[in-house]
Structure 1
């Protein structure tokens, strides 16, 4: 539909609209033709025990009843993962309230952490974790109408943070587990764990990357400056895809689990992979209209800027203490969004995006709504109530989510007393409206 814009994506963390919080009535929001969900860091733990001891990763009860404080829907700021009641409530909310979803981007970490030394994960349990997410999608959504596109997280492998060069057993197993999703899993996936999925008759594409082949904690691989290393081959594939998109005048989203750097500006990729990746997405920023990651459980932004004289690109991320006075905001070419998770490190959250469906701007991001659950309240009343945490256009005063729009927001951020900066800092840890 010409001129219509809309896209939903949930960052599994909060899912219900409360008119008291932002002055909107849920039943008056008009959802337009296209939408998508964006889901991150689910970490479903089938062994989570309500009223257990968080120091045992919520897997066991303490003989001291005072320590058994794990809530029905999870517990904040502990190493415990996501219980079934929170997962079920999240998917039920999505099915009940967002029926015309276009597609779902899932940035990985389907499987529980391997933190419990008394309850080590097995390879079968890892594969069962992947099957469980597919089963949820099949149960709650019509896969003939909605495309679900997962990426690999750093906890989705047989060994935490470690993934060998493909082809390997994980990729071959996932190609079978993900078969009901009807994805474009070619030899690139079997060899590298990444794939391209075209949307709306090839009007734009989602490039689902395997950030484990860039991640510096993956000690099984060489850096990207080594010819034929797993990361170097993925970068070659990515550049071909971006070059083709530019030639075909087709926009793309990039989805992966681990961002290039965290909110403290620590580089998360190996040195050569990091440098090459930033240069590549900067060079092709004209065709990248969305860049989605998870991993940190925080709601943060990072910006790619251009040094036009040197034809080089840099990246910086924003946290609570970042000083913006030295940033050339006029040189922003791309914004990277990192979204919070359903896993209750902070309050669970999901995000609903809107994108343009006009001919020349198909896929360009227009807005997003972030929903959240007050986990303390949910555990007290026995019900997960989803509310709007914030709407990007209203909170940051934006007409769309392009690089120029974010550059204007950065100018507002330069003042530590600005309302927009205070809002950004508050929402980093999903602190509510």
Structure 2
């Protein structure tokens, strides 16, 4: 017997006895929790959220953006694609930027527990003269896994990807599973050691446990997305979206019963920054009602897709027992929003792809017994792409820290409701900063 471990275990036991933890069930739960935390997992309470890499292996520096940065123009003045990408064009991400992103993460974030990746690893299929093949799509997924294997220790840091709308063989098209993409991804993602059960093979979604008190539900938003014309809406009994919603409700119900908190991670948000519904009508309604109903166990909701840094709020109508959702952009009429009824906040992260300045996020979450998984803060890092191309080096800096920018102690629904109330104040400085950060405009 390892006497040092035996001694520590007894010290934990004695600690709870002297703390007055006499109720047998509460005693057992806390004892198991702390024993598991000490012996099985070394958790730092930090994770990264990155999204929309869109790595393009055919990107050409000093090429013409009108050719999606794939070809040079005979007119030299038009060849303006920078080493690290070019802003506000349809060009995707060059290796120089993706390499810089992973180098920065490896050098600065060794003390993280996991990485959430909310989709779109593969380049867009915009260039009619250079159409993507199925092999190129699969190579894009392999490249992402190779990045993670190269830059992180997967035995210590869990990497959890979700499917984006450009990660399929055809843009915005994904048939009901099982299908060739899911079977290929189950092999490509094998080094990630994910919990890819039959739910993934049939639907592209999976649950990953981080701790016995905390899980990440990685959804396949393509089965809700209204631009995916291969599928029926969620008012059809056996549609792909309906089956995913049923799975999600079972997972949320189990989490509530087990007093286990969850994050939801997926690519496409229910609404974009203009408050346009991005899901098919029935899927949208049912999804919002579901996350509203189980908002007590959802302590984080992460998406990408829009390339923008935005917030969306789920609010409760207690009289009608229904939930609504709205997103904030620079033109939103804030006075119409009831801040007292916020039950859940959805955070949409900006992309690495340089539609705007590239960005990633570092989150901090609680590892205490009663608040495990509750988000405490995040730091957003960005690259000034104009500067990077001028000096030939991508320098990652802090754009803002949520707690300081918005005056928050934590990132719960009540905390965000207070921020929303502050947004509504005349000449609100926090609202000005929010609007500025939507397009990753720097500190």
**Normalising by the residue count of structure 1, what TM-score does the alignment of the two structures yield?**
0.92
CA–CA separation in structure 2 for the residues paired with 1:211 and 1:6: 33
**Distance verdict in 2 for CA 1:280–1:33, change over 3 Å:** closer
CA–CA separation in structure 1 for the residues paired with 2:377 and 2:32: 9
Once the two structures are TM-superposed, the CA of residue 326 in structure 1 deviates from its matched residue by 1.5
Task: Find the residue that maps to 1:86 and give its secondary structure.
Answer: helix
Kept in 2, the 8 Å contact 1:39–1:341? The answer is yes
**Which deviations, in whole Å up to 9, do the C-alpha atoms of 1:247-278 show, x marking residues without a partner?**
00000000000000101110000000000000
Once the two structures are TM-superposed, the CA of residue 324 in structure 1 deviates from its matched residue by 1.2
Aligned alpha-carbon RMSD (Å): 4.3
Kept in 1, the 8 Å contact 2:93–2:353? The answer is yes
Kept in 2, the 8 Å contact 1:300–1:339? The answer is yes
Kept in 2, the 8 Å contact 1:10–1:38? The answer is no
Kept in 2, the 8 Å contact 1:194–1:209? The answer is yes
Task: Find the residue that maps to 1:234 and give its secondary structure.
Answer: helix
**Which deviations, in whole Å up to 9, do the C-alpha atoms of 1:296-347 show, x marking residues without a partner?**
0000000000000000000000000101112110000000000001000000
For residue 238 of structure 2, the aligned residue among 209, 221, 228 is 228
**Distance verdict in 2 for CA 1:32–1:108, change over 3 Å:** closer
CA–CA separation in structure 2 for the residues paired with 1:338 and 1:2: 41
Gaps of 5+ in 1: 12-25
Q: Which has the larger radius of gyration?
A: 2
Kept in 1, the 8 Å contact 2:46–2:364? The answer is no
Once the two structures are TM-superposed, the CA of residue 100 in structure 1 deviates from its matched residue by 1.5
Once the two structures are TM-superposed, the CA of residue 101 in structure 1 deviates from its matched residue by 1.6
Task: Find the residue that maps to 1:28 and give its secondary structure.
Answer: coil
Task: Find the residue that maps to 1:71 and give its secondary structure.
Answer: coil
CA–CA separation in structure 1 for the residues paired with 2:397 and 2:35: 15
Task: Find the residue that maps to 1:325 and give its secondary structure.
Answer: helix
Once the two structures are TM-superposed, the CA of residue 415 in structure 1 deviates from its matched residue by 2.5
Aligned structure 1 segments of 4 or more residues deviating by more than 3 angstroms: 1-11, 26-34
Kept in 2, the 8 Å contact 1:10–1:349? The answer is no
Once the two structures are TM-superposed, the CA of residue 29 in structure 1 deviates from its matched residue by 20
Once the two structures are TM-superposed, the CA of residue 197 in structure 1 deviates from its matched residue by 0.1
CA–CA separation in structure 1 for the residues paired with 2:360 and 2:19: 28
Task: Find the residue that maps to 1:6 and give its secondary structure.
Answer: helix
For residue 169 of structure 2, the aligned residue among 158, 165, 170 is 158
CA–CA separation in structure 1 for the residues paired with 2:336 and 2:124: 39
**Which deviations, in whole Å up to 9, do the C-alpha atoms of 1:173-197 show, x marking residues without a partner?**
0000000000000000000000000
**Which deviations, in whole Å up to 9, do the C-alpha atoms of 1:219-254 show, x marking residues without a partner?**
000000001000000000000000000000000000
CA–CA separation in structure 2 for the residues paired with 1:96 and 1:323: 42
**Which deviations, in whole Å up to 9, do the C-alpha atoms of 1:120-178 show, x marking residues without a partner?**
00000000000000000000000000100000000000000000000000000000000
Aligned: 1:293 with 2:303 = yes
Greater share of helix? 2
Once the two structures are TM-superposed, the CA of residue 32 in structure 1 deviates from its matched residue by 6.4
Once the two structures are TM-superposed, the CA of residue 203 in structure 1 deviates from its matched residue by 1.8
Q: Which is worse superposed, 297-306 or 93-102? A: 93-102
Kept in 2, the 8 Å contact 1:6–1:32? The answer is no
CA–CA separation in structure 1 for the residues paired with 2:401 and 2:415: 15
Once the two structures are TM-superposed, the CA of residue 5 in structure 1 deviates from its matched residue by 20
Task: Find the residue that maps to 2:36 and give its secondary structure.
Answer: coil
Kept in 1, the 8 Å contact 2:382–2:396? The answer is yes
CA–CA separation in structure 1 for the residues paired with 2:36 and 2:105: 10
Kept in 2, the 8 Å contact 1:213–1:230? The answer is yes
Kept in 2, the 8 Å contact 1:289–1:402? The answer is yes
**Distance verdict in 2 for CA 1:69–1:187, change over 3 Å:** same
**Distance verdict in 2 for CA 1:33–1:381, change over 3 Å:** closer
Kept in 1, the 8 Å contact 2:45–2:112? The answer is no
Which structure has more RCO (C-alpha within 8 Å, separation ≥ 6)? Answer: 1
- Equivalenced residues, count: 416
**Which deviations, in whole Å up to 9, do the C-alpha atoms of 1:37-78 show, x marking residues without a partner?**
111000000000000000000000000000000000000000
